[in-house]
Amino acid sequence: MNVRALSILSVAVAASFAPAAAADAATTRTTYPTITKIDPLNLGIGETMTITGRGFRSGKNLNTVVFKRDGQRAIFAKAVTATTARIRVVVPEKVRPFLNTRSGAELPTKFRIRVLARRFGKRYTALSASPVIAPIAKTVVGPGGAGTANPAGGPPPDCDGDKIVDDLDGDDDNDHMSDAFETAIGTHRCKLDTDGDSMSDFWEYQSALDLNLRALPYPGKRPYPNPLHADQNVDYDGDGMLGWQEHAMWVKYGNAATSLNYSAGTQRSEPASGLTDDRRDVDADGLYNHLEANGRMQRSWWATFMEDENPYPVEYADLDFLDADSDGDGRLDGEDDLDHDGYANIDDYDRRKPLPDKFDASEDPRPRWVQPHNPCLPDPESPTCSLYITTTLDDAWAPFKELGMGPAGDIPINAQYPRPLPWPPPPITPAP
């Protein structure tokens, strides 16, 4: 075979493989569309929903968004605009027939979402990440149409001060719920907190879904936690944390995001942690949430559960469960020493926890009579335990009343009691 013939054959062979190679490359480049976030999660028919993810087609009308209520057929809508990572789509009127109803009234309903780009997404969104769609879209509230001045004169109303007039702002109070959706559930479109209990309408709404096991969009008659009823001091999910406390942790450490790092409707807001919300440590100071907020780091806990044990007369400040360094001395609260008795807070609240002997390191550690608000426990010789009792022995603070130590006005430490004091305390025996 001559050189020219060989060259022609080589080109032909290369050409025969080119379509297959191009097809393989195209297949490699084409990824399944994946949804990572939907915003807002609560909106009305006719409003625009933004989908963030990857694998989308950039351009207009190139992606199809699929809405599906569980147990019903899918509804398809073309995306208005899209990049490879973000889609904007208007919730279509054709989802209306698939809304839940009660006594003939249309109700906000959860729809799972899926995207068709070059390929169909592998799955619909999980219920927890799916939007709830209200039956009505935002209506124009200005008397002269969108963006018109208010009747009293002056600029058009802008209740959240974001420089977008209310008539053009789909979420007037910036609470993650569209105005249309708030109208549907009865909350105020211009108030972040309709019932004035210092908890966001959105957070209470989402917590109510958690409490209802998210099996339904919203328990409309009696939603709890309820954005229409002040209930900040209620612990609906029974995890030992009050509503306002879980809300505060969501605001400070969850950045008030659409996903709830703490919820008043479930004991396990982050199942991956393996812990209930009370046992997590939101400020990472070494002390778990309930301990600092409502438990043994609070003076009131000891007064309630150890009512026969007289409190120490000096009232040291309680720890702040939202602040890792409550007193600002540069030490985390777990390592710090609330009553300055030489025992770190992490060792000074649990009487079941073994601590070493003060004088003899060879002794096995044993449970001690600790108390974080009493510097005389577990050691009556601590640097801050009062040298004098200014009341009768019966009214004295622990451990002196319990062990019968010393006459009023003086506290001689009886050598028969080891220090730190063990728990339970040893029986009282006469001094030699």
Half-sphere exposure of 201 (CA within 13 A, CB side): 26
pLDDT at 284: 97
Of 17, 76, 86, which is closest to residue 51 (Cα–Cα)?
86
pLDDT at 8: 43
When pLDDT is averaged across residues 21-43 and rounded to a whole number, the result is: 72
Q: Which position has the higher pLDDT, 153 or 146?
A: 153
62 inside domain: yes
Q: What is the pLDDT of residues 106-152, one digit of tens each?
A: 888 999 999 999 999 999 999 888 998 988 643 333 333 333 444 44
pLDDT at 429 over 60: no
202 inside domain: no
Q: Which position has the higher pLDDT, 156 or 302?
A: 302
82 inside domain: yes
Q: What is the pLDDT of residues 45-103, one digit of tens each?
A: 888 899 999 999 999 889 999 999 998 999 999 998 899 999 999 999 899 889 988 77
When pLDDT is averaged across residues 308-326 and rounded to a whole number, the result is: 94
40 inside domain: yes
Provide the token pair at 374: 């009493």
9/6 Cα distance (integer angstroms): 5
Q: Could you write out the DSSP letters of every residue in 346-386?
A: GGSS-TTSEE--SS-TTSPPEEB---TT-TTSS-TTSTTS-
pLDDT at 224: 86
pLDDT at 221: 77
394 inside domain: no
Q: What is the pLDDT of residues 378-404, one digit of tens each?
A: 998 899 999 888 888 888 899 988 877
199 inside domain: no
pLDDT at 17 over 90: no
Q: What single-letter DSSP state applies at residue 418?
A: -
173/164 Cα distance (integer angstroms): 11
Q: Return the CATH number at 67.
A: 2.60.40.10
Q: What is the pLDDT of residues 110-119, one digit of tens each?
A: 999 999 999 9
pLDDT at 222 over 90: no
DSSP alpha helix (H) spans, 162-282:
179-185, 201-211, 243-253
When pLDDT is averaged across residues 248-265 and rounded to a whole number, the result is: 94
Among the ranges given (27-31, 212-216, 269-273), the one the predictor scored with the smallest mean pLDDT: 27-31
**What total of structural domains would you count in the chain?**
1
51 inside domain: yes
pLDDT at 280 over 70: yes
125 inside domain: yes
**What are φ and ψ of residue 343, in 5° steps?**
-120, 125
pLDDT at 157: 57
Domain that holds residue 75: 34-134
Q: Which position has the higher pLDDT, 165 or 91?
A: 91
pLDDT at 291 over 90: yes
Residue 266's pLDDT band (boundaries 50, 70, 90)? very high
Residues 6+ apart with CB under 8 A from 5: none
Share the mean pLDDT of the chain.
83
pTM of the model: 0.68
